[in-house]
Homo-oligomer: A and B are copies of this chain.
């Protein structure tokens, strides 16, 4: 187990643009406010959604498209660094018109209908992702 203490930095509230790609827009807010490490929280609605499930045995993500319009019930995750670039890692819980919930790891292809986002910057040695051999995932190194 590894853990590290961070100082709090800027706290930014954003309204993401209609029609934007969820993942790209979060990264753009982080970059615009010069955040290297941050917590991500959001709610809203998506006109299209695309998610992924990680197969822990095969060590590969399987992507799938979500049918129809959805509410974004909870978007939780973080911004850190990978190969010198901003890496947004967020999981979404969604629901359709009957309320049934589904979710997954957010990949490109989630189209914003409306999204109210909060980014809480974490100031300290930036968290950097690197391949973790055990899981096959890009986890934080040095933690």
Contact = CB atoms under 8 A, between A and B. Distances in A.
Interface residues of A, number: 77
Given A13-B122, A15-B139, A62-B97, A76 B77 contact: no
**Nearest 10 A/B pairs, CB to CB:** A3-B14, A101-B101, A99-B102, A15-B143, A73-B103, A43-B91, A1-B17, A95-B103, A73-B91, A74-B76
Interface of A: 1-8, 10-18, 20, 25, 28-29, 32-33, 37, 39, 41-43, 45, 47, 51, 53-57, 62, 64, 66, 69, 71-74, 76-78, 89-93, 95-105, 113-114, 116-118, 122, 127, 132, 134-135, 137, 139-140, 143
